Amino acid sequence: MAKSKYEYVKQFERDYFLIPNTWLVIRIDGRGFHQFSDRHQFEKPNDRRALDLMNKCAEAVMIEIHDIILAYGQSDEFSFILKKECNLYGRREAKIISTIVSLFTSNYVFHWKKYFPDKELHYPPSFDGRAVQYPSDNNLRDYLSWRQADCHINNLYNTCFWALVHSGKTEAEAENTLRGTSSSDKNELLYSSFNINYNDLPEMYRKGSILIKQEVDFKALNQNEVEVIRKKNVVMITNVDIIRNKFWEEHPELKL
């Protein structure tokens, strides 16, 4: 096609190419979900349906983007890990982030009704996204440990906060009660005042969700209508500890 005289404006575009041979982490996070969760009356501290919807969106992203080997989610955020060799969009940062964040967001709206059949979506949710590059396997392990530790710290705090509020304290009073308390103080408060053993709460709330791909066999018919075994990737969800070595030893295919 002949070029128009306007074509030169293309030269003003700039691309950032992510460094080759580094782990890529794309983290997306709900924009203003404090308000969004209020407006849609999420159960506090953890609305199971909202977490399941987040996991569903992450699964859809993982199936669509083949280079993602693992995803970790908690609250209104998800981290997608792309393998070092990933050459998606020639590693153009803006293309990778925007594709993942928009896929995730459209799935959130698309699947909303399935997870909240009795709740209208009052306004369109949005997510932000960023990319981080990690040169070593150790850095990536530490990144994931950081997110899971954050999940634990926030969940312990939020469990105490909402137990206090549900018992009749105002939000300001609950905040004051918790100011300066240690992790063992919080465990003790839950146990002595509310008879809650923190470690008995669902693992999904305490540890977040880990999504990995697993190859499974399935039966299909070939051109001659003969049954054959084919392989496909399915996404598995677990809520285990990923800070210690056990999970990684059980998944050598992740090469971490």
Cis before 45 (ω within 30):
yes
CB of 76: closest distance to ligand ATP in angstroms? 4
Of residues 6-65, which lie at the interface with Mg ion (CB under 5 A)? 29-30, 33
Helices (H), ranges, 69-211: 93-115, 137-166, 171-178, 183-194, 203-207
53 binds ligand ATP (CB under 6 A): no
Backbone angles phi, psi at 179, to 5 degrees: -60, 125
DSSP β-ladder status, 23-30 and 77-82: antiparallel
Instruction: Give the residue with the Cβ less far from ligand ATP, 22 or 107.
Output: 107
| Binding residue (CB under 6 A) for ligand ATP from 22, 46, 187, 209 | 46
The reply, when asked if residue 208 is annotated as ligand binding, is no
42 binds ligand ATP (CB under 6 A): yes
Of residues 19-38, which lie at the interface with ligand ATP (CB under 6 A)? 29-34, 37
Residue 200: name the closest of 208, 190, 192, 209 by CA.
190
Distance CA 44, CA 51 (A): 12
Of residues 77-136, which lie at the interface with Mg ion (CB under 5 A)? 77
For residue 208, what are the CA distances in angstroms to 52, 109, 158, 205? 11, 22, 14, 6
Distance CA 221, CA 211 (A): 29
Instruction: Give the residue with the Cβ less far from ligand ATP, 95 or 244.
Output: 95
> Where along the sequence are the contacts to Mg ion (CB under 5 A)?
29-30, 33, 75-77
Binding residues for Mg(2+): 29-30, 76
Point out which residues bind ligand ATP (CB under 6 A). Answer: 29-34, 37, 42, 44, 46-47, 50-51, 75-76
Query: Which residues define the annotated binding site for GTP?
Result: 29-34, 75-76
